[in-house]
Structure 1
């Protein structure tokens, strides 16, 4: 009889325990933190480069007013026409260059380029070796670029835009050069005045960055600029005691080959996302 009573008490206690447990609040596992995609490109960029500027165009010289005396032997064709065979040689130059870029996303960017270059100008052909003069040139370019970023650290790009070539601090050669033609010695020539105009043209670009870190890389770049400034010069001839006025139409069209360093910055670190329960 005592065993039956003890068994009944145990069953009641177990039932009460199960009922009490059912009344407790349930505990669920916390949901996983949401995955946030972060575009970690750096929107701002500075490049510091050394650039070799190599003119690759042609030059045509015209008798500006059609009054060059025939005795000089340097004019062919109608007055005011082209001085056949005459041209200008433009020296190469190596310049420092700084570029500023802004990336709209990982692939599309806009870049502005500024540099400083100085060139010597020397006549060729019938006017051979006359020191025409020298000029400083400030080529300012604005290019739209597409960057290929799916190759890891190696990131090639292409660009196209416009260039504004601004000559300044230019001056005539003022040197004396003998002019010898089929007619014999016809005096000394010297460029006494030189005026060079500005030019706006198309610019094309290819290059690549090799990013050592997300912020620092090595850059190699090649650009072609369609620059076609017009120049005017006054050449004084001693034998004739007379000025020769010429117009120079240039297709300067230089290549710009560059190497330097790339620095990127400005990317914001994403804020941590906390799950709410």
Structure 2
């Protein structure tokens, strides 16, 4: 009888240890390809003429995301990439380039964390560092940085206990004043949509 009880206790402890091992890793890493589509809203240049004449190009960018799950439903995600170069046009004519590094941190809620399809929503903050500005042959400049809100929605499709496919959509606030000759001549709201597909690994 004692041996039977002891054997059952060992099996129970082994099962508990197996569950702890399966649940003890809260980390997930995703790699995505994001299509960046700016809203391209801007004030009239120099207060003259129509608005929205300044434009930033669309492009596809790589993205690496690191998530930490506090609970099965709640997670924080840090969105990273390398500095991205963008073209700037005025009335369709290229007037220069700049680079931006836009790390974003969101808090997510995962509705069905154990389901095959696991949808989530998130909200957080974006910080964009603007650098290597070359506008109007050096006469123009942008703000060095931008803080803004970020909203997110997506879904994971589980391939197995570790791997998943991901579809993700974010709306991010990125804004800057535009200067020429030391004077502010406009304000741009890039405010891009980021539509991403990728693959994730849960450790």
Which structure has the bigger radius of gyration? 1
Mapped contact 2:42–2:186 kept (Cα < 8 A): yes
Alpha-carbon distance, 1:117 to partner: 2.3
1:164-186 deviation line (CA, Å, top 9, x unaligned): 01111120243xxxxxxxxxxxx
Aligned length: 191
Aligned residue for 2:156? Answer: 209
Give 3-state SS (helix, strand or coil) of 1:210's partner.
strand
Aligned residue for 2:197? Answer: 259
Q: Distance in 2 between matches of 1:131 and 1:57?
A: 14
The structure-2 alpha-carbon separation of the partners of 1:202 and 1:30, relative to structure 1 and needing over 3 Å to count, comes to same
Structure 2 residue corresponding to 1:106, chosen from 72, 78, 90: 72
Aligned residue for 1:84? Answer: 49
Mapped contact 1:207–1:222 kept (Cα < 8 A): yes
The structure-2 alpha-carbon separation of the partners of 1:209 and 1:104, relative to structure 1 and needing over 3 Å to count, comes to same
Structure 1 residue corresponding to 2:129, chosen from 158, 166, 179: 166
Alpha-carbon distance, 1:84 to partner: 2.6
The structure-2 alpha-carbon separation of the partners of 1:28 and 1:137, relative to structure 1 and needing over 3 Å to count, comes to closer
TM-score norm. by structure 2 comes to 0.84
Aligned residue for 2:100? Answer: 137
Alpha-carbon distance, 1:246 to partner: 4.7
Q: Distance in 2 between matches of 1:29 and 1:137?
A: 67
1:204-240 deviation line (CA, Å, top 9, x unaligned): 0000111111111111100000112212124xxxxxx
Structure 2 residue corresponding to 1:247, chosen from 164, 169, 185: 185
Give 3-state SS (helix, strand or coil) of 1:229's partner.
strand
Q: Which runs of 4+ in 1 moved over 6 A?
A: none
Mapped contact 2:87–2:96 kept (Cα < 8 A): yes
Does 2:194 correspond to 1:231?
no
Alpha-carbon distance, 1:150 to partner: 5.2
Q: Distance in 2 between matches of 1:59 and 1:92?
A: 16
Unpaired segments of 5 or more residues in structure 1? 1-26, 64-81, 175-191, 235-243, 266-277
Q: Distance in 2 between matches of 1:44 and 1:132?
A: 43
Q: Distance in 2 between matches of 1:29 and 1:232?
A: 82
TM-score norm. by structure 1 comes to 0.63
From the two aligned structures, give the one with the greater strand fraction: 2
The structure-2 alpha-carbon separation of the partners of 1:258 and 1:28, relative to structure 1 and needing over 3 Å to count, comes to closer
Q: Distance in 2 between matches of 1:143 and 1:259?
A: 18
Alpha-carbon distance, 1:193 to partner: 1.4
Mapped contact 1:134–1:173 kept (Cα < 8 A): no
Unpaired segments of 5 or more residues in structure 2? none
